[in-house]
Structure 1
Amino acid sequence: MISQTLFNPFKDLIFDEHFCFLTGNLTTETITVFPQWLMDHFKFGAERIEMMDKAKPYNYEDLKLPCSPEVKKAFQELDLQVQAAYKKGFKGMASLDQELLFQWTGRMVYGLLYYEMIYERDRLLRQGEDFELSPTLRERFGHFHLMLQSLIEPISFVGKKPWSIAVFPLKYSADIFSYRDDAINLMFSFGVNGFGFIACLQDNGVIGEKQRDILDKMEGHVLHPIQFEELFARFHYSDYILQYKPKYKIETQDNGIAIEVETAGKQPLFGFWDEDIFAQLLSNYWQVYGIEKKDILQFQKPPLSFLENPYTKDFIKPESIDLPF
């Protein structure tokens, strides 16, 4: 049950430029989906972004969310905190509270989701059809939106966190900014020279737990970009085969709202890991290196990995990888 007191755009599917995306208050102000300092620093504001609607081109800087002055100020303050941490590289980012990273990442993922909702609504409208979302998606996106309101509302997370966020050192050529998102599945990855992070924003931490073994082995190493791509592919495919619906106990208390993760039962959380499907996904991420699916899956050989030696399961040292950054 989502709290009735706070705005939930997924209840009545309200995505309107006159209403703040986070509070539902009337507003004429906007905020960019991607933080302005990030677009300025990596000079990608004027670059094109591919949305679900291939017919309508957007530049990153054109993607904007309606927001109240209060929300705009809160995000500006959050941006200053993240920017200050960013300047300190991996150590700075790793020292940030995960809730701040959730809010900071959540703004971008929600912004992209908002545009996908508007596109789908307008497409159906042109066909004379009503815009509907399945109850499952309404609930999941509604929970995500409620958690994002922790930026401005007294919302606390009790016990286990509703997300998996991994921050790690990463080596890239200077001035490269790499990011991937899957707004519908509420996933995001971000990599620059110095650090990378991967976020599953609504998995209740189970994907992070599934990948715990490799995350532990990586500790203390500066990842090569090809390892970063493989790591995100593992998170992404784990999300694809996840068979567990995150549930929450949401209580309105005198001093705010408490969100508690309801732990899963004994059933297996993940479906069968199909190496063939995973290799196809991984080849999409590795195509910049010219690595194709047939290179990943070879007859009578274990699947190709740049994270683990397939025979010993030892972590592959990044400096031993002879590929460009």
Structure 2
Amino acid sequence: MPAKIYSPFDASNFSNRSCFLTGETLSSEEEKIQVFPQWLMSLYNLEDQPFKLLDESMATYKDIKLPCSATVNETYLEPLEAEIGAAVNGGYNAVKALDELKLFQWAGKLLYGIIFNEVQSGIKLQRSQGEEFNISQSIIHKFSNLHLMLQSINQPILFEDFKPFSLFLFKVSNNEQEFGYRDEINTLTFSLRIKDFGLIICFQDNGANRHYHRETLAKIGEQTLHPIQFEEFSGRVFYSAYLFNRLPEYNILPVDEEVYIEAMPLRGMSSKPLFDHWQNKIYGQVLESFWKNWGFLLLEIIKNPEEPMSFLFDADGNFVSEELIALPH
């Protein structure tokens, strides 16, 4: 039977009566799954913690749900959750041993779940004001491609000689009680700092951000990071994802029961670089937000505008070992 791709953005279908992954009609609006899996919420007592949506409304972590068919959940999502949950429990080495595509699928489902809830909120808000739901075509393009690629969870979708994402995984000397989560849905960027590791994924860049930071990655190597170092690297990636100025395009080739996705060259017809010009002042503002736990202000961070403050590298550009970092609490 040929694979059937579901495209919710084509029909603006964000009803609680349709499975988010397949589009099939559900038996009731109660047929849902948690966006943040129960094993993760239980680890950090997140269930009743506040979660702020883009429209400034507040929910709790356990309120963020996705309509999902029981069959899809039992057949595909629960085994994926069990595999990721077991790896997280095993820490950095177990997570590193996972297939990167599984991490992409798991984190992508989580990020898409948040997008789905944001879109539902947006539709309600605009309808209450008598307006049609409106969202930019470039954002729809990114969200649609993410959703297409998530269907590799439940269908034989194969990526032809490319990865649609940049994934960064580091060993980090975290406080065991700390849950560090961050996302930016406009650039489809995600970071998670828990247990003894930190994970960052850019979901829709065909590996461009990983290439962009290749020299930094080479200097860090396999070293363990202090949390402030991980947040610094996260800040660099979140900022470069904002500077990334291409909308990746793909050829979708159904062959019998399989679907092949082929990436079009990112350079396309444009001669300009893939990333806009890096500005240290804006990067400093990003760092100020990522370093909020440690209280560093923008003025301190860009005291030398040519060389913003760094805990990753010393003045000569050498990696700073995490044991040498002393910080105010």
Same fold (TM over 0.5): yes
Name the counterpart of 2:12: 13
| 1:321 equivalent in alignment to 2:320 | no
> In structure 2, do the counterparts of structure 1 residues 176 and 299 end up closer, same or farther at CA, with 3 Å as the change threshold?
closer
1:304 to 1:245, Cα distance in 2 relative to 1, 3 A: same
* TM-score normalised by the chain length of structure 1: 0.95
**CA offsets, 1:61-119, max 9 Å, x none?**
11110001222111110011011111221110011111100110011100110111111
CA RMSD in angstroms, aligned pairs only: 1.7
The 3 A distance-change label for structure 1 pair 215 and 106 is same
- Aligned with residue 250 of structure 1, among 249, 252, 272: 252
Tell me the CA shift for residue 140 of structure 1.
1.6
Q: How does 1:282-297 map to 2 (within 5 A)?
A: 282-297=287-302
Decide which of 84, 89, 92 is 1:90's aligned counterpart: 92
Structure 1, residues 145-203: CA drift from partner, whole Å, max 9, x if none?
A: 01001000110111110001111101111121111011232111001131110011111
Equivalent pair of 2:20/2:68 in contact (CA under 8 Å): yes
User: Is the CA contact (8 Å cut-off) linking 1:11 and 1:138 kept in structure 2?
Assistant: no
Aligned to 1:279: 284
Q: Residue type matched to 1:14 in 2?
A: N
- Contact persistence 2:3–2:155 (CA under 8 A): no
Whichever residue aligns with residue 122 of structure 2, its letter is E
Whole-angstrom distance in 2 between the partners of 1:300 and 1:235: 19
1:114-193 to structure 2, matched below 5 A, reads 114-193=116-195
Q: Kindly tell me: are residues 181 and 122 of structure 1, through their superposed partners in 2, closer, same or farther at Cα, counting changes over 3 Å?
A: same
In the alignment, residue 189 of structure 2 is paired with which amino acid? M
Per-residue deviation, 1:32: 0.2
Calculate percent identity across the aligned residue pairs.
Answer: 36
Kept in 2: contact 1:30–1:72 (CA 8 A): no
Decide whether the 8 Å contact of 2:251 with 2:263 is kept in 1: yes
**How far apart are the structure 2 equivalents of 1:213 and 1:301?**
18
Distance 1:133 1:12 in 2: 13
Q: Which residue in the other structure is 1:100 paired with?
A: 102
Runs of 5+ unmatched residues, structure 1: none
SS in 2 for 1:87: helix
Of residues 269-278 and 182-191 in structure 1, the stretch that sits farther from structure 2 once superposed is: 182-191
Q: CA deviation at 1:132?
A: 2.5
Q: CA deviation at 1:301?
A: 6.4
Question: What are the ranges of 5 or more consecutive residues in structure 2 without an aligned counterpart?
Answer: none
User: What does residue 197 of structure 1 align with?
Assistant: 199
Residues 312 and 119 of structure 1: CA distance in aligned 2, closer, same or farther (over 3 Å): same
Q: How many residues align?
A: 321
Counterpart position of 2:265: 263
C-alpha distance in 1 between matches for 2:125 and 2:185: 18
Contact 1:49/1:57 (<8 A) preserved: yes
Report if aligned partners of 2:49, 2:61 keep a CA contact under 8 Å in 1.
Answer: yes
CA contact (8 A) 2:3 2:254 kept: no
- CA–CA separation in structure 2 for the residues paired with 1:68 and 1:110: 16
Shift of 1:220: 2.1
